[in-house]
Amino acid sequence: MRDYILKRMAAVILGFISMYGFYVILHGHISPGGSFAGGIIVGLSFIAFSTIYGIQDGSAKLPEKILVWVESYGTLWYGLMGLVGIVKGAPFLANKLAGVDLGTPGTLSSGGLISLIGLGVGIRVASTMVTLFFTLMEEEA
């Protein structure tokens, strides 16, 4: 009740911050920005939620199980994308050499594997930020 204004403003703004982070991740290949910057923005929106609403509510929104899952499989996702090249008979992590359709440069679906790899990297950067924050905060509490 004490932080009524802060909580209501956060409820309005944080969704848009999170959405903007995903926008930066998904448009990393056609605009300034990229998966690392976008992942940081997504992670910071969850960190801001946890600092405003309390660490218990934050952990309830994003349980540790999901964080660990995203972090591990986000790293594995990169390797799986690299295996596409080997399956097609090209070097590991090949993109154009593997015959992936690059699309029209400048559109959202262009770049072949680059946007998919970027999505994985962005999501796992966000989960790393949130994991480190939760772990350090729980240690302090």
**Footprint of other proteins (CB under 8 A):** 28-32, 34-35, 71-72, 74-75, 78-79, 82, 92-93, 95-96, 102-106, 110-112, 114, 117-118, 121, 124-125, 128, 131-132, 135-136, 138-139
Q: Which is nearer to other proteins, 3 or 64 (CB)?
A: 64
Q: Which is nearer to other proteins, 58 or 112 (CB)?
A: 112
Q: How far is the CB of 1 from other proteins (least distance, A)?
A: 31
Q: How far is the CB of 101 from other proteins (least distance, A)?
A: 9
4, burial (CB in 10 Å: exposed 0-12, middle 13-18, buried 19+): exposed
Q: How far is the CB of 7 from other proteins (least distance, A)?
A: 28
Quote the tokens at residue 73.
Answer: 């499989």
3-state helix, strand, coil in the chain (%, to 5): 70, 0, 30
Helix, coil or strand: residue 1: coil
Alpha carbon distance 19, 42 (integer Å):
8
Alpha carbon distance 92, 126 (integer Å):
26
Q: Which is nearer to other proteins, 8 or 96 (CB)?
A: 96
Q: Which is nearer to other proteins, 10 or 58 (CB)?
A: 58
| Amino acid residing at 87 | V
Q: How far is the CB of 116 from other proteins (least distance, A)?
A: 10
